[in-house]
Structure 1
Amino acid sequence: MINELFRKIANEDDISLILPLLLSAEELNAVNARTLVYKELLLAEKSQREIAKTHGISIATITRGSNNLKSMSDKEKKLLQTLLIGK
């Protein structure tokens, strides 16, 4: 259902409107934090501790993100890299 919904969204403004309707503020913050963690880990410019300190994200959250990245397929990692970094 969610895939179908997002396929119908025409522009970025509509995404900004629909996400708070589907997710609580806490859930949105968690998704934003995870996205930031993935981006930082993919950039590989900072240690996990530096990421935690810079962004105020717990080391446990960063470790979970790192473990998730390790379990992703190459295709999934490439998609994230393209979407988050542009490479």
Structure 2
Amino acid sequence: MINALLRDISSEEDISIVLPLLLSCEELNAINARALIYKELLLAEISQREIAKKHNISIATITRGSNNLKSMSDKEKKLLQTLLIRK
């Protein structure tokens, strides 16, 4: 159901309206933090401790993100790179 809903959203403005209706503030913050962690880890420019300090995120949260990233398939990692690192 959520896949169909998100697929039907046609604008960034609509996404900004719908996501807060579906997710609490804490959930949105957690998703944003996870995306930020994945981006920093995929860039591999700074250490996990530096990521934690730079973005005020606990090292435990970054470690969980790192472990999730390690368990992803190459296809999943490539998709994240495409979506998060827009070069």
Counterparts of 2:40 and 2:27 in 1: how far apart (Å)? Answer: 20
Deviations 1:2-56 (A, max 9, x none): 0000111011110010000000000000000000000000000010000000000
The answer for the alignment partner of 2:39 in structure 1 is 39
1:58 paired residue number: 58
1:54 partner amino acid? K
Mapped partners of 1:56, 1:4: distance in 2: 34
The separation in 2 between residues aligned to 1:7 and 1:53, in whole angstroms, is 35
| TM-score, structure 1 as length reference | 0.98
Question: TM-score when scaled to structure 2?
Answer: 0.98
Unaligned regions of 5+ residues in structure 2, if any?
none
Quote how far apart the aligned CAs of 1:86 are.
2.3
Aligned-pair RMSD on alpha carbons? 0.7
Matches within 5 A, 1:1-87: 1-86=1-86
> In the comparison of the two structures, how many residue pairs are matched?
87
